[in-house]
Chain A
Amino acid sequence: MSDDDDLLPALRAAQDGDERGFATVWRALQPAVLRYLRVVVGDAAEDVASETWLQAARDLHRFAGDVPAFRGWLFRIARHRGIDERRRAGRRVEEPAESAGQDGALRARDAAAEAIEGSDTRWALGLIASLPTDQAEAVMLRVVAGLDVATTAKVLGKRSGAVRVATMRGLRKLAAHPQVLARNAPVPGAAPVDPALPEGV
């Protein structure tokens, strides 16, 4: 996550129409936007991210504020585009019905993701996507995108308290997930734990 102060000149330049400034902002925030959307709309994430940036580019002259505010503004756009996409596709149920189906869907998703690229990131995002939508969104915005509680609450149109609860529940559920627990055990062939962390602690 790039430093907000570093990003401010680029943001201002972009608002003045400078494409390099816009590219800098895009590079800094696109990964988080894309991941958030991956959790929300799945495989349509790239397309929806493009729509998000297009709308941001169109409305940039109307935005006033610093980088944290811009983050919130951008994710609000992303969220609305994501909702549009889900409405369009009608592909995703509001909340996974029961834990049995959830696990099944999760396994299928996980297998598919791993078959495609075997990526740790994909695995993690798939797991987060298996949470109830409000929890998944809260975890993504708070923990992965790095928004503060107030901004997250604004993006989601909820109270700060609700955001805190949703985040906490989501994290707890993830921590208790069998696949996450399995990761603690040094199984050969399992995806490696972040190398920065001491092994086996």
Chain B
Amino acid sequence: MEGLAGLLDAARASTPGEDLAGERAAVAGFLAARQRAVPTAPPRRKNREARTFAMTVALGFAVLTFGGTALAARTGSLPPAAQERAHALFSGVGVPPPPAPVPATSAPPTTGRAVPSPTPAPSRTATPAPSATAATELCRVWDAAGQDPPGRDVPAEVRRSLAAAAGGVPRIDGFCAALLGEASRSSSAGAPASSGTPPGPGKPAGKPSAPGKPTVTPSHPGKGNGHTKK
């Protein structure tokens, strides 16, 4: 057994020079991995938390509007002009146009939440032109988040929605730039454009008949509006 003990000792023996040559590389790899995994310094993290909070609020608002509008578009309960624009916007997300130009009030109450009844007080999703507002909100989220690597910190739903609306992730920037520019222009000018428009990224007919902030209607007076800007 003597030979075996010698063999095992040899297998165990430490030869520091040979074995430990890669320490610096290993530590460098460790640091890199940590940096990627954890957002490091406390001050930055605080910033990031605030940003994340604002983004979450904005996202919640945008998704509500977006989703509601999509539903309204699907059921055909938007005014004709808005309906047309909504389809241009949502067709990419898989919202099919209604089978025929159905009267807005006859929308079937699919979920009950968005379309409570066909009577006077329509839910806020049926107000004119929220589609542009929703997309604008999404774009604000996008703009606020994606500074250096575009879209890096944007929640997946927002990115997906925007990509669908813009026709691909690479086009989101252009889409949003056009939309946000249009939004500020039209809200200052109060342009009432409501004619049928091509569905390009420019969205020239943004906010038909509602230049202000029609989305913030009866249901949630103070909630959404305060957070649209950060």
Q: How far is the CB of B40 from chain A (nearest CB, A)?
A: 8
CA distance A22 to B24 in the complex (A): 11
CA distance A50 to B33 in the complex (A): 13
Return the contact of A50 from the options B5, B10, B25 (Cβ within 8 A): B25
Question: Looking at the complex, which of A100-108, A118-126, A157-165 is the stretch in contact with chain B?
Answer: A118-126
- Taking CB atoms, residues of chain B closer than 8 Å to A22 are 26-27, 30
Question: Looking at the complex, which of B13-21, B70-78, B219-227 is the stretch in contact with chain A?
Answer: B13-21
CB-based contact A174/B38 at 8 Å: no
CB-based contact B19/A30 at 8 Å: yes
CB-based contact A30/B20 at 8 Å: yes
Q: How far is the CB of B55 from chain A (nearest CB, A)?
A: 24
State the main secondary structure of chain B at its contact with A. helix
CB-based contact A54/B29 at 8 Å: yes
CA distance A16 to B203 in the complex (A): 50
Return the contact of A27 from the options B5, B6, B9, B23 (Cβ within 8 A): B23
- Taking CB atoms, residues of chain A closer than 8 Å to B12 are 1, 35, 143-144
- Whether A23 touches B23, Cβ cut-off 8 Å, given contacts A57-B34, A120-B13, is yes
Contact surface of B with A, Cβ cutoff 8 Å:
1-15, 18-20, 22-23, 25-27, 29-31, 33-34, 36-38
Tally A residues with Cβ within 8 Å of B: 46
CA distance A28 to B37 in the complex (A): 24
CB-based contact A125/B4 at 8 Å: no
CB-based contact A53/B29 at 8 Å: yes
Q: How far is the CB of A195 from chain B (nearest CB, A)?
A: 10
CB-based contact B26/A35 at 8 Å: no
